[in-house]
Amino acid sequence: QVQLVESGGGSVQAGGSLRLSCAASGRTFNSNAMGWFRQAPGKEREFVAAISWIRDSTHTAASVKGRFTISRDNAKNTVYLQMNSLKPEDTAVYYCAAGGEGAITRSPDYWGQGTQVTVSS
């Protein structure tokens, strides 16, 4: 019912920046929040950031707070993740997610296919 398509991943040196985009389409009216997760090789999928469509609120993980910023464009049904001061430990596949506001950080209803982010030292 909801399709999520990520873009903007790539390779960057430590200290650099990348901007990820996630475009949502389909029947999105029950998905009141969108966010980002990431998964590095050998590690569990980790919550990164989320934003609510219906109130002025965001949540970011402690590991990226102060470096990553999530934002939205309501007219385009698109969410962005601006990643600054990237570190090698940020290397992972980044997944866009959508779901209810109360559950987005733990159990999203929909997932994108993921986009690779590689940070070299």
| Rounded distance between C-alpha atoms, residue 113 and residue 121, angstroms | 26
How does pLDDT run across 5-35, given as a tens digit for each residue?
999 999 999 999 999 999 999 887 778 899 9
How does pLDDT run across 29-52, given as a tens digit for each residue?
778 899 999 999 999 999 999 999
- pLDDT tier for residue 54 given thresholds of 50, 70 and 90: confident
Residue 1 has pLDDT above 90, yes or no: no
- DSSP state at residue 112: -
> Rounded to the nearest 5°, which phi and psi values hold at 57?
-150, 140
